[in-house]
Amino acid sequence: MKTITNNIVKNVVAIGYGSRLCGDDGVGQAVAEAIVAWNLPNVRAIASHQLTPEMVDILVTVDLAIFIDACPTDDSLSVRVYPIELAKSGSTIGHYCEPKMLLAIAQALYGYHPQAWLVTIPALDFSLGDRLSCVAQNGMTEALKELERLIRFDTAA
């Protein structure tokens, strides 16, 4: 795995989420685990089955949050990167939250939320199993390049 060598001056968290037991849905976690292997200073990567309200405590300690998830593909096989805005309203479902809800909770409780991005990876196969399709594997490679760019660009001094 390639190593990023620039100095990271901001605190970053990358949260990859999805079920490792449902094929391509686990690609977010796989990406987070790859980021851990980069061993970057000030960059924390978390692989999780789902986003939970408890993650707000992590978000308020960083300058940049990047969420990584599988996205059922239509005709596009490209990784997409979106800025995330605060949720205007809504609620959590049990312990599950969308990224914009986590940011809104952080803002409501702490008066702060980090800049945030959502990286979606094309996915085809959500059946039971722990293997990624070729589409998800290719998306993972592309996503890691996008994440490297986000971390370098958004953390430049």
What would the pLDDT profile of 9-68 be if each residue is shown by its tens digit?
Answer: 689 999 999 999 999 999 999 999 999 999 999 999 999 999 999 999 999 999 999 999
pTM above 0.85, yes or no: yes
Q: Is the residue at 1 inside a domain?
A: no
Of the candidates 34, 144, 1, 3, the residue with the CA atom closest to the CA atom of residue 81: 144
CA 20 to CA 153: how far, in whole Å?
30
Q: Is the residue at 47 inside a domain?
A: yes
CA 64 to CA 138: how far, in whole Å?
25
- How much of the chain, in percent, has pLDDT values that exceed 90? 78
- C-alpha R_g of the chain: 15
Query: What is the reported pLDDT for 23?
Result: 93
CB-CB neighbours of 87 under 10 Å: 17
Total domain count for the chain? 1
User: Among 18-27, 50-59, 133-142, 145-154, where is mean pLDDT lowest?
Assistant: 145-154
Task: Domain of residue 81: give its range.
Answer: 12-154
